[in-house]
Amino acid sequence: MDKGGQMLWESSKMEQRYDAVLGVIRDGYTVTEVATKFGVSRQSVHAWLARYEAGGLEALGERSRRPRTSPNQIDAHLESRVIELRRHHPSWGQLRLEHQLRREGATPLPSPSSIYRALKRSGLIEAPPRRKRLPAYKRWERSRPMELWQMDVVGGVLLDDGTEAKILTGIDDHSRFMVCAGIMTRATGRAVCAHFATALERYGAPEEVLTDNGKVFTNRFGVTPAEVLFDRICRENAIAHLLTAPGHPTTTGKIERFHRTLRDEFLTARTFSDLDAAQGELDDWIATYNTDRPHRSLAMATPASRFYERRPHPAGPPLTLAALREDRTGDDWVSRTVSINGVISVSNQMFSVGKHRSGHLVDVWVLATLLQVYDGAELIKTVARTTTGEVRKKRAEPHRARQT
C-alpha cells in the first residue's frame, strides 16, 4: 500500500476509535455495548476512553509498539569491551567471550545471545551455513584420563629459510589435554618416536594409543609386515596400539579438531626464525591451551583441570626410547644412501641392505656391538659390529691366502 493509502487506513482506525468513544460519552451506550458493536474487548474501549481524556483526538492514533526498555540489550561499556576482545581474538565466539567477561567480573553479565547480537551489529560475525549432522553421528570419549591418546603428524610450521617443519601432536581423549606437540624438520620414525618417548617420560604410559596407518606409526599392512620403532615402544610399555580404518579420519576427530585450532590460532600467517624458536613459542601456546583456555566441549573447563582431576597414578616409570638404549655404550645415528648394488658402509664396515633399496636414504643406529638400519620407521637389518682391528684382519686374509 502506498503512503497515501496507509494514511487513510490509519485515519479510518482513529475515526472508529473516536466513534466508539462518542458512543459512550455522548450517546450513553455502555462500554459492553460499544465493545460488542465494534468487535473489540471492553479493555480496549476503556483504554480509548482514557487516551481521549488525556490527549484528545490525537491520542487515539497508532502508537509505536517498540518497548521503552529491552532487558536483553547489552550495556554500552560492555558492548565496547566485547568488540575489543573480539578484534584482539577473532576466533573467540560468544561462549568464550562470555567466559572472559565473567572472569573480569562484568556486571550485569550479558547472555551469549546478547553478545552474538552485539557482534552482529558491529559486523564482526557472519553466521556460517549450518552443516547437517548425520543421524548416525555420536560423540564419544573415554571415561578417564590416560585411557587413550590420539596422535597424528601435521605440517604447516614455516621457517624463515622456506623449510616446512612437522609437528607430532598427541591429545588425551577424555580431557583434551595436549600430551605432545613436538616439532621436527622431517617426520621420520626416529624423530616421531623421540617426541613420543618424551611424552611418555613426562606423563606416563597410556593404556591405548590411536593413530592412522602412516609408515612412522606402523607397517602391519605393508608388503613385508615388520615391527617399526613406534610399535616396539608401545609393546615394551604395554600400550595397545589402535589403528584407524582407511578412509575414516573422523575416528581421530579430536586430534583433527585440535589441528584446526592450531592452524587458526598459532600457525596462520606466521614464520619462525628456526626450529628452536618455533618449539619455544609452541610450548608457550600449548601451556595456555592446557591450563588457561576454556574448552567448549568440557563445559568451559580447562583440559588440565580434567586431566589431573581423575588421572591414575602410573605403576612405574615407562620404558621409553632412552630406556631401550640402556647398557649400549657408544651409540650414535648416521645416515647413508644405499648404493646401486644395495650396499652401505658404516664405520669401515660394508654390508648389503638389498638392491631394491637402491637410492634410499637410510638411518643407522651405531651401537657398541650392533648396527641397526632403519628405512623410514622400519627396522630392516641388524648386523654385528666389527672393530677396526677385525676389519683390517678380514681385509688382510685374502692377501695372506694369495701369498701362501
**pLDDT tens per residue across span 163-180:** 999 999 999 999 999 999
Domain spans of the chain, in order of start: 3-60, 76-121, 148-309, 327-401
Can you name the residues that pair with 154 across neighbouring β-strands? Answer: 167
Strands in 148-158's sheet, in edge-to-edge order, are 178-184, 164-172, 148-158, 208-211, 240-243
**Is residue 218 over pLDDT 50?**
yes
Q: Judge if the upstream peptide bond of residue 67 is cis by omega within 30 degrees of 0.
A: no
pLDDT, one tens digit per residue, over 49-107 is 998 888 888 888 777 777 666 666 777 888 888 888 888 888 787 888 888 888 888 88
**Is residue 367 over pLDDT 90?**
no
**pLDDT for the residue 173:** 92
The stretch 127-154 carries a mean pLDDT of: 75
Can 76-121 and 148-309 be said to share one CATH topology? no
With DSSP H G I counted as helix, E B as strand and the rest as coil, what are the percentages for the chain, rounded to 5?
45, 20, 40
* pTM: predicted TM-score of the whole model, two decimal places: 0.57
What's the fold here for domain 148-309?
A: Nucleotidyltransferase; domain 5 (3.30.420)
Nine cell digits for residue 383: 648386523
Helices (DSSP H) in 204-236: which residue ranges?
Answer: 229-236
CATH class of this structure's domain 76-121: mainly alpha
Per DSSP (E only), the strands in 85-196 are 148-158, 164-172, 178-184
The stretch 354-369 carries a mean pLDDT of: 82
CA torsion sign, 248 to 252 to 258 to 263?
negative
Q: Are strands 208-211 and 148-158 parallel, antiparallel or unpaired?
A: parallel
pLDDT band at 239, cuts 50/70/90?
very high
CB-CB neighbours of 322 under 10 Å: 12
Choose among 67, 71, 76: nearest CA to 118.
76
Nine cell digits for residue 9: 487506513
Contact present, 260 and 152 (Cβ < 8 Å): no
Phi-psi region of 226 (alpha: psi -120 to 50; beta: other; left: phi over 0): beta
CA torsion sign, 194 to 198 to 203 to 205?
positive
Contact present, 177 and 290 (Cβ < 8 Å): yes
The one-letter amino acid at 194: A
